[in-house]
Structure 1
Amino acid sequence: MDQQTLVIGHRGASGYRPEHTASAYELAFALGADAVEPDVVLSRDGVPVVRHENEISGTTDVASRAEFADRRTTREVDGVAHTGWFTEDFTWPELQTLRAIERLPGIRPSSASFDGRFGLLRLRDVLRIAEEAGGGAVVELKHGTHFSAAGLALAEAVAHEIDEAGWGRIGRERLTVESFEQTVLGELQATGLDARWIYLLEDSGTAFDLLARLGTAAPGYADQLTDSGLRSLAESVDGISVDKATILPRDLLGVSHGASDVVDRAHAAGLEVFTWTLRAENRFLPRNFRLGHDKAAFGRWEEEFQEILATGVDGVFADQPDLAVAARSAVGGAA
């Protein structure tokens, strides 16, 4: 690569502010992020709402709101049962009354001090922040199969929202769309949206849309990461985004022993490669990059970040984007 690795504020600067809030996104750009990542789910009235999951008890104050107590329920999402409050059971005006809270208060007490200060956003709000900052957006489509089964068309709603925000023709240099489900990516691609298309892969398991359609015959993520799988993906997407453990595998003790060849193999197939998530706290680092036993303390993040960047990865998602920018500078800026 002869261009700079993109630093993407993961849900904004979510290491410093409650995720997916205006403050988190604005801070991410102020700290040097090239782009920010809004995750998109849907409200009951089809509004693209920015939350990491459609179950929102861990990132909003909904559990303390007596007027919504009767909406607590158990629902299967992508084959897994979850109990809580779900965005598809609320209208956008109702969701606007909620306040954001820190998802990891024990690890990030400073961020938790901002609990209750910020409301929820819809996608167009994040695109406006990115526009004002002159930066980009990496829009993640969440749970497309789940919403489709509920009668909600995620791709259609997002296409309309992007168009309403004036980003319909902004171009792939600033707009990226990603998902763990190729089905919803294809639906949005079919609208003619001008964007970079990225397919997300877990370190193990199977994409839910493929599992729902093909059952036990569905190829797993490991199959899609073979050389032939990567060549097949290159026919429909511009790149892949993988768990950082796919790039820096860990043994059974949680120790990393160096980088895999996945970035080189994906590049050889004609794919860009992004990775998630760079986080400085010990809890999220391989055991050999930790300092002390405090999970919330920063470990030897510089070494992990730089080792990942040195593989030639095209983009990194970071909770502390300023630290990712510093690591990028340390490895020379060019991926």
Structure 2
Amino acid sequence: MKYYCLCFVLLMLPASLWAEEPHVFAHRGASGYLPEHSLPAKAMAYAQGADFLEQDVVLTKDNVPLVLHDTHLDGITDVARRFPDRKRKDGRYYAIDFTLDEIKQLNATQRFSRKTGKPVYAERFPLDGYTYQLHTLEEEIRFIQGLNMSTGQNVGLFTEVKKPSFHQAEGRDIAKAVFDVLNRYGYGADKKSACWIQCFELNTLKRFRNEFGWKGNLMMIFSGGKPGPDGSDYDALATAAGLKQLSETVDGVFPNLPRVVTWDKSGQAECSEFTEAAHAAGLRVVTGVVRRDDLPKHCPSVAALHEALFNQAGVDDVCTDFPDLSVEWLKTQQAD
């Protein structure tokens, strides 16, 4: 009981964090430098000054919330070598088909192509440089809260509920499983709770607010193209009317980058009206992902990307693979 009470006190963010200053959301940790979602990547992002660390969450066979970007284990672990007979008809290995004990036997690395075996980002941390064990949402929470305790800071969670419709089709309720863990560790009591829940499926966010009684912050993620698995029409929700509708449930939006800004062939930024419409609806806007090694088409530099996002498009926050670059750019702006 003493542990939970202490954690609950630590989770109360200083009011200044919820003022107008920008936040840096570390995308899968400092994933530009270390393997995504590894605890070292989270520690590095923490040390680089990120305000929030992201957790993508899926379920294991025994219903444990696991920090993993995909529902698949291949492409980031050696599951095909260790469990060659456990793939589905589509040739993929799904986390939901493995118990946590089995998953803990796997070696995880930097993300790699299943076809070539080569890293997705060739200049990032090498595949043979370090292997790690996948971990649970609860383990990551304890890790972050431990850092908060030892440093006196209060870095928050940025938790994405991955593919709720897929899990529902498998007979699982990932939303409830994630909520139970977060609630047990004191998150979601109010808007100052150091946690954002994010999802591509609006119905899941509505469940958090209305069914589970989540009083913390919720964020709708926008994809491009076709509607989401639950029927979420991203194009319609990106209109002024759609954003106003969203504001009845969520506190922020995470649009895919082209909805906010694009660049012409000369390298000039061209901003949409999305941010203005979102602000008019009372919504906070975070976007990205900032990748030094994968800039948007025609964007000339990381600095130009930050300049366009904050000073031209007017977004509130940034999601980044390179937290240090975003933190440093924002410090430079404040100094000016």
TMscore range, shorter length? 0.7 to 0.9
**Does structure 1 residue 165 correspond to structure 2 residue 185?**
yes
> 1:271-295 CA deviation, whole Å, 9 max, x = no partner?
11111301111x3332241xxxxxx
Aligned counterpart, 2:105: 97
Name 1:135's counterpart in structure 2. Answer: 155
Q: Figure out how many residues of one structure are paired with residues of the other and give that number.
A: 305
Q: Distance in 2 between matches of 1:245 and 1:284?
A: 12
SS in 2 for 1:111: coil
Distance, in Å, in 1 between the alignment partners of 2:221 and 2:335 is: 24
Contact 1:204 1:220 in 2 (8 A): no
Distance 1:39 1:139 in 2: 6
Select the residue among 219, 226, 236 that pairs with 2:249: 236
What 5-or-longer segments of structure 2 have no aligned partner? Answer: 1-17, 113-118, 149-153
- The equivalences for 1:219-230 within 5 A come to 220-230=233-243
Structure 2 counterpart SS, 1:287: coil
- Aligned partners of 1:114, 1:27: CA distance in 2, in Å? 19
> Is contact 1:32–1:322 with CA below 8 Å preserved after alignment?
yes
Q: When the two structures are superposed, what TM-score results if normalisation uses the length of structure 2?
A: 0.84
Aligned residues: CA RMSD: 2.3
> Is the CA contact 1:154–1:184 (under 8 Å) kept in the aligned structure 2?
no
Normalised TM-score (structure 1): 0.84
> Residues 74 and 263 (structure 1 numbering): CA distance in 2 closer, same or farther, change over 3 Å?
farther
1:185, distance to aligned residue in structure 2 (A): 1.6
- The equivalent position to 1:37 in structure 2, one of 36, 41, 54, is 54
Q: SS in structure 2 opposite 1:129? A: helix
Q: Tell me if the contact between 2:25 and 2:53 (Cα under 8 Å) persists in the aligned partners.
A: yes
Matches within 5 A, 1:62-77: 62-65=79-82, 68-74=83-89
Name the structure 2 match of 1:12. Answer: 29
How far, CA to CA, are the matches of 2:212 and 2:233 in structure 1?
28
Report the residue type matching 1:84 in the other structure. Answer: R
| Structure 1: distance between partners of 2:96 and 2:110 | 21
Matched residues in 2 for 1:136 and 1:325: separation? 16
Residue 287 in 1 paired to residue 286 in 2?
Answer: no
* Cα distance in structure 2, aligned partners of 1:155 and 1:259: 34
Change in 2 beyond 3 A, CA 1:246/1:100: same
Match of 1:294 in 2: none
Change (3 A) 1:249 1:161: same
Q: Which residue of 1 aligns with 2:222?
A: 201
8 Å CA contact retained: 2:24, 2:327: yes
Q: Where in structure 1 are there 5+ consecutive unaligned residues?
A: 76-82, 211-218, 290-299
In structure 2, what residue type is equivalent to 1:23?
Answer: P
Look up the match of 1:330.
332
